[in-house]
Structure 1
Amino acid sequence: MKLSHVKKTLSILTILLVTLFSANQLFAQSTGKIAGKVIDEKNSETLIGATVSIQGTTSGTATDVEGHYVLSGLQPGKYTVLVRYIGYQSKSISDIEVKADATTPLNITMGQSASQTLNEVVIKATYRQESTSALYAIQKNSVSISDGISSELIRKSPDKNTSDVLKRVSGTTIQDNKFVIVRGLSDRYNTASLDGAPLPSTEPNRKAFSFDIVPSSLIDNIIISKTASPDLPGDFAGGNVQILTKDIPDQNFINFSLGYSYNTQSTFKNFNTGFRSVSDYFGFDDGSRKLVDNFPTTSQIVNKQLGFTQNIQSINSLNNDFGIYNNKALPGQNYQLTVGNVKEIGENKNRFGTTIALTYRNSQNYTPDLIQNFDNYDYHNQVSKFSTNVGALANFAYSFGKNKITFKNLYNRILDDQFTYRTGANTGTSSSDNRFYAYDMLEKALFKSTIEGDHSIGSKNSKIKWNLGFSNVLNDQPDQKKVNYKQTNAGEPYYATVTNLGKENARVFSHLNENIYSGKVDYNVPVNLFTQSTFKAGVSSQYRDRTFNARFLGLVIDQNNQNYDINAILQRPIETLFGPNVIATGVYNLEELSNPTDRYDANSFTNSGYAMLDSKIGENVRIVYGLRVEKFDLKLNTEETNVDQPRVKLDNLDFLPSVNFTYALTDKANLRVAYYRTVARPEFRELAPFAYYDYELLATQQGNPNLHRTLIDNADLRYELYPSAGQIFSVSAFYKHFNGAIEPLIDDPNSSTTITYFNSKSAYVYGFEMEARKTLDFIDANTFFKNTTAYANFSVNKSRVTNPDDGVTRLETTRPLVGQSPYVINAGLLHNELDNKLSINLLFNRLGKRIFYAGGERFSSVYELPRNVLDFQVGYKVLKSKGEIKLSGSDILNQKYNFEYQLDGKPYSPSGGTTFKAYNLGSSYSLSFNYTF
């Protein structure tokens, strides 16, 4: 383990221990709190400096810059809260029950009065009424068309990470269990931010953020904006995913949880792995797989400058353990410790809060028969995947007067070690039966740090909000090893294909490092325009700097060596094929495939500015409109170029107008209309000419330096009804037109397929969405149905992209966009019983067939076929509701994943089968326990 990694881990543990010891008052509390926000009932804007007090006492406080308040030190009992604010009607809320060592949440809405003085008329409401009206206001008054999910709903699902959570959101699906697709648009058309700062791409070969990195238990809420406003980044067309983690808790707590899971297909079954070190269990390679510091350079190897002794020494410095170790797959493990601490400082009750969490997950999954049966291939794969995820979160916040400063930090690391054993026939140009071995370990890490300030200034309570962020992404493949054995005729021996260097005999060492620096400033101020208006303006910058390098090495046997029986060596089993005694003979030569495009560095600089107005016109009309301007510069260099002459250079200035119109049909219903222009820019990897053979796809992926950005015009229409608190019914329609859509392009006339990218002349997508969430008390007024909520979201999408007219005859002139599903269904039932101690949640998901892999000249597109996914969770609170036991089941139907070549809706293949791949992952059942002190 690197020293820097050790220091980083120790510093996080030190912070955690300090916080634990500083929280000595956690178990001494006997009083309770009332906490929440005060908001404007017309637009949900927070009210700064409102006075919140306990009626009949001198106990009171003022709301901070986020409109937040806390009334602490209250003895258990029922209270009435009085709220006053200049220009608004005062409000009295009664029947607020406070319990010992607990916080009672209460968000409060305020209505404007005719005069600008403290109004003598006091509006009265009960706790239940006020909680309901506040939730209405927040739901109904959002600026743009959006969907989201709260931490409360996340806790009631079996979801372990953010990618699992996102597939519950209307119009959203997940690909490869980690990449988000919104409204049928692939990950490259979606953006994400964490705590207000943009999230980078975590993948070396695509523009995508791996959402399985962020544990779901650390999320405060997730919002997906499906329409743009000028204050949002302009580079999305599907959705802008905004993840907020927790900062200042309402009360002190220590929470720990542990869980274990059983997979019907994997746990306690045979589990084959390659070399493993103890540090793999903690998410770090111990360094024994990586190239040593004094390893020969590419030039030395390619130009054959290694002598006999140096050749052997260099080979011996590699990790030549090709052993296959058979174990039993252990149950999945999940541990988390979270500490929250809040302290009131001084007479003004300024608040300093911390939230610190450590997480650990480990899983061992086995796929016994992944089938690839198409064209000349008839492969069967046994796949064992060992995964470790470790993470830490450390958030600090200080709220004083009308100011708030937050410092949020997230570190997460994933180690995936996959062993694949492939058997079967390849009846192509070199007809053979094969035994293929792949040892594939990948390390991904994300470190993100954000400091943010929120300040209210002036008599009008204008706001300035600023944000500075730094992110670092690592993606390392320290030693991907591949070796194939071939049998040309039945009954003959299998010979290792180590007579040359290529995709059946290679070792890949790749390293990706990217630093991202970001900053932004937003300013908003109330202005005298129409009934009520707010002017908002801001500037932002983001600088990305990436370096990538890859080396393709391998051991090639000297067939001209007369001193040894070469055929006998080629028939050795994989465990001894590269044994020390064979290497010592010098029969193997170290070789390298080199191309100047195997290494690239790239940077991009995005500068943005915007201005917008949020205007209320009369009682029912709200318009949010403005302009965003983005300047984008990108440079990418490979070794065949120099810094003064970049291989790729982009220079774009884009004007992005948007308007969001909302008409309040009733107090509970809105009609929304939106138009906005956005962009989609090529990712570094899509531009880099670097070629990489993917043995799972059986294809080479390569970038296109000639790509340019996509301009997208969007239109949305939505009707939404909020029949009661926490319930919704909405229907939406949308249309998107793409000028120069970036899509995969398949080159497959030969036996080896290449995937690259192109800009289509035009493309479009349109669709319909419906969402409903309703308690079942309309069936019967008894307690059972009152405590049961049904929810569903359904979307229908249609898209079309035209393949390039470049003289190549392709099977498909037009096709749907890659990743776009014609329909998506999410549904569920949630029931609470025994005074909310028992909760039962049943979840269903299904999506229509979507293109996984675009078609070419010989092959049609590969479609991922529909499958039904059923999950459940049963939770029961114990130990005075401070602990909870959860039993969860994921994918309990365990239907097969099928990926099939289809043309015009029918199976297609030029010869042989039509199955690109098919497999089962098994059902998973987990039992967990969490307890909060």
Structure 2
Amino acid sequence: MRLLFTVSLALFATLQMFSQDTGSIGGKLTDKEFNNEPLAFANVIIKGTTTGTTTDFDGLYEIPNLEPGTYTVVFSYLGYETVEIPNIAVEAGKVATVNIPMSASEGVSLEEVVVTTVARKDSEVALLLDQKKAITLETSIGAQELARKGVSDAASAVTKVTGISKEEGSGNVYVRGLGDRFNITTLNGLPLPSNNTSKKNIDLGVFSSSIIESIGIDKTYNAANYGDFGGANVNIVSRNYNGTGFFDVSASVGGNTEALGVEQFYLNDGPNFSGFYNYDIPDNPFSDTFETNWNREAYGTPVNSSFSLKGGDTYTIGEESRLSLFGVASFGNNFSYNEGINNGQPNVGNGLPNSAFDFTTFDYSTATTLMGNVGFRLNNTNNFKYNLLVLNNSSQKQQEFFGILDREDDAPEGGGFIQRATFERTTLYVHQLLGEHNLNDKLDVNWGGAYNYVKNLVPDRRQNTVLPRRNNNPDGPKSFALVSAASENHRFFQELDEEEIAANISATYKFKENEDEGFDGKLTVGYNGRFKNVDFDATQFNFQFLRPNDQPEVDIRQIDEYFDQNTLSSGLYQIRTFRGTSTIPGALDPQTFGGDQSINAGFATLEYKFNPKFTLFAGLRAEQIIQEINWNTTFGEDENELDTFEFLPSLALKYELNDKQNLRFAASKTYTLPQFKERAPFLFQEDITQDSYGNPDLENSTNYNFDVRWELYPTSSEIISFGVFAKYIENPINTFLVVSAANDLSYANTGDNATAFGAELEARVNLIKNDIDTEDAVLEERLTLGGNISYLKTNQQLDSEKVANETRLSAAFTNTEAPLQGASDIILNGDISFYRQFRKEREFRGTLAANYFSERLYALGSTGRGHLMDKGYVTLDFISSMQLNKHLSIGFNAKNLLNPLIERVTENAEGDLATENPAVVGFLEDGPITDLSYKRGTDFSLSLTFSF
């Protein structure tokens, strides 16, 4: 009750801005007398007012900041017929695009005028215009561009931005070589929790493009945002609706070539088709009362499918108030299959991996989305918005490994078998209440509050390990006799609950009114609060096998038969937790960690335009961070507190060289906060070949960020930009291999400093742009080329002695320096798109998109081994859609057409080696050694959408 009461107070007493109240009219004027060339310097005026503008060299114009309503616009040019277009509807947050062909000798028929209205954050042109006008270096991708490039989720969307790549097999992204811990994710400007104990950020892959209006990626720091920032702030803007009523129904069907190509697809017993599944620990687990089977189960044809409903409407209340509604519900499933090599770390002496497997993975995932929002505009000066988002994502995996478990122990000559059946489900609830109030011409107040709840479940993960009865006969009979560790056969239950309250409030005062009825100065002060509670518990039931000489043979495909024929009373095995058998008091007590995190921050920003060309944006932020963590695990029972105060300045400068060119500079100080999992001493066994645990002695990193960028906007839909950036990181955090018998992974401040320097080039140009005159309308034909490239050079100092002095862990780095984890030297994105209108309600879009990243560091080299590197590869996607009429459209997508080999290798020990560390007894010279390799196949889909 106390939490709900606090939530209620936060939602109604805290503040944050959310959307635009005004709309705009924009478009292009062409000259019919000169083959429809752009008509520059024409006058565009709102009839009956003095509000207006002139067209630029490209015939483009925009009249911004118009109150919602209906307008008549007058277009005039000396020597040409004046054109008056009535009844142009302007909606809040949208652009009414009006394209006019002007003539000297005759009037323009209204049928020749093309008027379209899209949400401002949907439109590529509008977002590009916002980027041009903005002071900070934010890049936005709208729904229009997402559709053109066939982007299905937020993770894929951000990889279209310069300098960003995605981690294979997840929705986590690297920005300028900086991974998960350096980035921050928000929804409508309010923070989001993670859906994975291993990560700081929510998996962007869970956000379907159907709920996205736009995604803003800000790679420079703004003092109005949280300071736990080093790579980018990714802000997802949920869809809003302000137009007339609509309702869409969409469905798709498809498949993955690897999954469809396998002779038989297998999954686990228990989980269902929908992904809404849970299985609790039975009442008497020590008596082996588990209901799910160990054996894999055959599945039918692995066909991918999706279905969605989407609708919205707007209602006028009185003369100046408006209510808007929008909702979407969708479900999709996806099958995948991988087979390849999965090895452990190689031995330094002979280069042979300590464990060596051929593996197969059958994967079935689901994504269910429910989103709705209600917007209410009162008297044109007060806006309120409520957002509800519910996501349920699941992943069911059947993993099988064949080969050597340990060259010095289990199945040293091969013949070992491990199968793991894992179902993981994450449910996220987001409630947001936001408001904006224009108190007068000079003072605005914005507020927002959020309550987020995430539940992550791993119910009944099952693992079996079966070995040859004799090590020298790997192809002979199998049994449990030689299994050395009780944990090799287990059932595992995990639950993570995370509750978070976030609140923002800001007030903006405008001063120094200019000749354009605007203001040259804006001073904003505000407060941000973020309060999180984390509760994690896990219980693992290990099946410890006894009397090895009496163990019978086991059929690896009929594990259930062993337990059916040999019950607990046989004395061949016993069930125990990490705390012991049923005779130990508290044996069923789970391992736990959790705690509270609070961030209280105050900030002030100043935006000041010294003249029409030069603008300053400066900010100061102060944050008090307290992170309390407690644990009760096999590592013991204890608690720890991280208490720090951060003072964070930021500066951004913009100089407009001319109407088409900008020069920008940004500098800031930020920090990187360790996450709960990185500080919690709990042994995570998420991977067959590698375990990890946290380090409570972790401390903050401090980041210094610098950016310079030049931009050219040839037309309203084109951009060419070049930028350079630098980062200096004090006390960087890394994942490293702990020197121990188990060689587990942990986290530490591994050196004193790290640096990153890079350059980015982006271009988006129109190769062909034609206006085609017909009897009914002026139709468009476009061929667009876009691309970006980034070059990055990173380096960090590694110090094993620092780790030993500052933590309770031991490290033995092979090298004295290394690149940053996740940093690719080169990242390339490119796409070519064709668009053709055949008539007003029939059009075709097709895009061929490619992405490449060069190799990047996965884990630091240790104990004489080189770094563990992910090899680079190219992806190629084809996306197309055809609108057949007003109601019906179809689409065809084919992704990962090249189906490259995905590979991770351990490299030879090279560079500056740490020869004085006594834990390093030799160096790997027989590499590179393959640790992981597989192909993920080509995904294809056919979709159908019907609009009512």
Q: What is the TM-score normalised by the length of structure 1?
A: 0.82
Hey, what does 1:30 align to over in structure 2? Answer: none
**In the TM superposition, what whole-angstrom CA distance separates every residue of 1:351-404 from its partner, at most 9, and x where no partner exists?**
111111111011111113344375233310011001111110011110112011
1:669 and 2:669 matched:
no
Instruction: Give how far 1:71 is off.
Output: 3.1
Size of the aligned set, in residue pairs, is 821
Q: Percent identity?
A: 22
Alignment partners' CA distance in 2, 1:864 and 1:442? 25
Alignment partners' CA distance in 2, 1:777 and 1:693? 54
Hey, what does 1:378 align to over in structure 2? Answer: 356
> RMSD of the TM alignment (CA)?
3.6
1:891 and 2:896 matched:
yes
Alignment partners' CA distance in 1, 2:92 and 2:645? 53
Alignment partners' CA distance in 1, 2:450 and 2:829? 35
Alignment partners' CA distance in 1, 2:646 and 2:877? 44
- What secondary structure is seen at the aligned counterpart in 2 of 1:155? helix
Alignment partners' CA distance in 2, 1:247 and 1:362? 26
Instruction: Give how far 1:883 is off.
Output: 2.2
- Among candidates 789, 804, 809, match of residue 794 of structure 1: 789
Distance 1:712 1:284, change over 3 A: same
Hey, what does 1:86 align to over in structure 2? Answer: none
Alignment partners' CA distance in 2, 1:752 and 1:157? 43
Hey, what does 2:871 align to over in structure 1? Answer: 865
Alignment partners' CA distance in 1, 2:83 and 2:521? 29
**In the TM superposition, what whole-angstrom CA distance separates every residue of 1:98-128 from its partner, at most 9, and x where no partner exists?**
69999993279xxxxxxxxxxxxxxxx9989
Alignment partners' CA distance in 1, 2:503 and 2:162? 31
Alignment partners' CA distance in 2, 1:902 and 1:779? 52
Q: Which structure 2 residues correspond to residues 115-194 of structure 1 after superposition, within 5 A?
A: 137-176=129-168, 177-194=170-187
- What secondary structure is seen at the aligned counterpart in 2 of 1:399? strand
Hey, what does 2:281 align to over in structure 1? Answer: 291
- Among candidates 346, 356, 362, match of residue 333 of structure 2: 362
Distance 1:656 1:411, change over 3 A: same
Q: Which structure 2 residues correspond to residues 308-707 of structure 1 after superposition, within 5 A?
A: 311-312=286-287, 315-316=288-289, 318-348=290-320, 350-372=321-343, 374=346, 375-401=353-379, 402-426=381-405, 428-430=407-409, 431-433=412-414, 434-458=416-440, 460-487=441-468, 488-490=471-473, 491-496=475-480, 501-528=485-512, 532-559=520-547, 565-568=550-553, 573-579=558-564, 582-583=567-568, 585=570, 587-594=572-579, 598-639=591-632, 647-696=639-688, 698-707=689-698
- What secondary structure is seen at the aligned counterpart in 2 of 1:578? helix
Q: What is the TM-score normalised by the length of structure 2?
A: 0.81
Hey, what does 1:758 align to over in structure 2? Answer: 749
- Among candidates 879, 886, 894, match of residue 885 of structure 2: 879
Distance 1:753 1:704, change over 3 A: closer
Distance 1:470 1:229, change over 3 A: same
Distance 1:799 1:39, change over 3 A: farther
Q: Which structure 2 residues correspond to residues 830-869 of structure 1 after superposition, within 5 A?
A: 830-835=833-838, 837-869=843-875
Instruction: Give how far 1:858 is off.
Output: 3.8
Distance 1:573 1:552, change over 3 A: same
Hey, what does 1:772 align to over in structure 2? Answer: 763
Alignment partners' CA distance in 1, 2:216 and 2:84? 32
1:37 and 2:29 matched:
no
1:742 and 2:733 matched:
yes
Q: Does the aligned pair in 1 maintain the 2:68–2:92 contact within 8 Å?
A: no
- What secondary structure is seen at the aligned counterpart in 2 of 1:723? coil
Distance 1:909 1:482, change over 3 A: farther
Q: Does the aligned pair in 1 maintain the 2:269–2:297 contact within 8 Å?
A: no
Instruction: Give how far 1:436 is off.
Output: 1.0
Distance 1:103 1:617, change over 3 A: closer
- What secondary structure is seen at the aligned counterpart in 1 of 2:272? helix
Alignment partners' CA distance in 2, 1:70 and 1:215? 30
Instruction: Give how far 1:159 is off.
Output: 2.0
Distance 1:328 1:81, change over 3 A: farther
Instruction: Give how far 1:429 is off.
Output: 1.2
Q: Does the aligned pair in 2 maintain the 1:901–1:909 contact within 8 Å?
A: no
Alignment partners' CA distance in 1, 2:481 and 2:745? 22
Alignment partners' CA distance in 1, 2:393 and 2:743? 31
Distance 1:457 1:98, change over 3 A: closer
Alignment partners' CA distance in 1, 2:143 and 2:769? 27
Q: Aligned AA for 1:291? A: I
Distance 1:536 1:735, change over 3 A: same
Instruction: Give how far 1:452 is off.
Output: 0.3
Q: Aligned AA for 1:439? A: A
Distance 1:427 1:230, change over 3 A: closer
Alignment partners' CA distance in 2, 1:446 and 1:846? 32
Distance 1:571 1:152, change over 3 A: closer
Q: Does the aligned pair in 1 maintain the 2:354–2:405 contact within 8 Å?
A: yes
Q: Does the aligned pair in 1 maintain the 2:228–2:670 contact within 8 Å?
A: yes
Q: Does the aligned pair in 2 maintain the 1:708–1:759 contact within 8 Å?
A: no
Alignment partners' CA distance in 1, 2:790 and 2:437? 40
Distance 1:911 1:325, change over 3 A: farther
**In the TM superposition, what whole-angstrom CA distance separates every residue of 1:717-744 from its partner, at most 9, and x where no partner exists?**
0001111012101111110101111111
- What secondary structure is seen at the aligned counterpart in 1 of 2:852? strand
Q: Aligned AA for 1:550? A: A
Alignment partners' CA distance in 2, 1:132 and 1:558? 66
Q: Aligned AA for 1:813? A: T
Distance 1:886 1:320, change over 3 A: closer
Q: Does the aligned pair in 2 maintain the 1:503–1:693 contact within 8 Å?
A: no
Distance 1:219 1:586, change over 3 A: same
Distance 1:155 1:40, change over 3 A: closer
Q: Aligned AA for 1:510? A: Q
Alignment partners' CA distance in 1, 2:114 and 2:314? 28
Q: Aligned AA for 1:618? A: N
Alignment partners' CA distance in 2, 1:476 and 1:625? 44
Structure 1, unpaired ranges of 5+ = 1-34, 42-51, 58-65, 83-91, 109-124, 297-310
Alignment partners' CA distance in 1, 2:832 and 2:812? 50
Instruction: Give how far 1:461 is off.
Output: 4.0
Q: Does the aligned pair in 2 maintain the 1:763–1:802 contact within 8 Å?
A: yes
Q: Aligned AA for 2:497? A: N
- Among candidates 68, 71, 76, match of residue 70 of structure 1: 68
Distance 1:497 1:457, change over 3 A: farther
Distance 1:590 1:527, change over 3 A: same
Alignment partners' CA distance in 2, 1:216 and 1:791? 21
Alignment partners' CA distance in 1, 2:888 and 2:301? 29
1:715 and 2:706 matched:
yes
Hey, what does 2:190 align to over in structure 1? Answer: 197
Structure 2, unpaired ranges of 5+ = 1-20, 28-43, 50-63, 76-81, 99-112, 347-352, 581-588, 805-810, 912-922
